[in-house]
């Protein structure tokens, strides 16, 4: 049974694609392809930017999946974190 995201942030830290403009700072900061949409979001759970994510662009990379301690990330189906 799939466990539920705890909001630990390990996936964002492990993401191989971190050079994406952050919407929070009017594009001045950067975020990973998997990220929490709003820093104060409740629940504090990430989403994947499919236009930036290497897996969706090339079919390779699953760093976030392998690093997630809750096994909450499924790249082959709709994310349900
Ligand atoms: S998806 Fe996994 S690694 Fe990412 S915040 Fe949730 S529990 Fe942590
Ligand atoms: S699969 Fe996508 S979101 Fe996950 S680590 Fe790779 S680039 Fe980041």
Average pLDDT over residues 7-27: 88
Domain count, the chain: 1
CA of 66 to the centre of ligand 1 (A): 10
Domain residues for the domain of 34 are: 10-67
Would you say residue 11 has pLDDT above 90? Answer: yes
57 belongs to a structural domain? yes
Whether 61 and 16 have beta carbons less than 8 Å apart is answered as yes
Q: How many helices (H) and strands (E) does the chain have?
A: 3, 4
Could you give the CA distance from residue 68 to residue 8 in angstroms, rounded to a whole number? 9
pLDDT of res. 45: 87
pTM for the complete prediction?
Answer: 0.85
Q: Is 28 domain-assigned? A: yes
Q: Is 7 touching ligand 1 by the criterion CB < 6 Å?
A: yes
The response to whether residue 11 sits with its C-beta less than 6 Å from ligand 1 reads yes
Among protein residues, the one whose CA lies closest to atom 8 of ligand 1: 8
8 Cα: distance to centroid of ligand 1 (angstroms): 5
CB neighbours (10 Å) of residue 38?
10
Average pLDDT over residues 10-22: 93
């Amino acid at each position: 049974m799939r466990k539920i995201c705890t909001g630990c942030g390990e996936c964002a830290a492990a993401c191989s694609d971190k050079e994406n403009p952050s919407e929070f700072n009017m594009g001045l900061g950067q975020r990973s392809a998997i990220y929490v949409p709003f820093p104060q979001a409740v629940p504090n759970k990430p989403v994947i930017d499919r236009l930036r994510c290497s897996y969706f662009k090339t079919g390779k990379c699953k760093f976030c999946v392998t690093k997630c301690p809750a096994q909450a990330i499924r790249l082959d189906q709709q994310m349900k974190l």
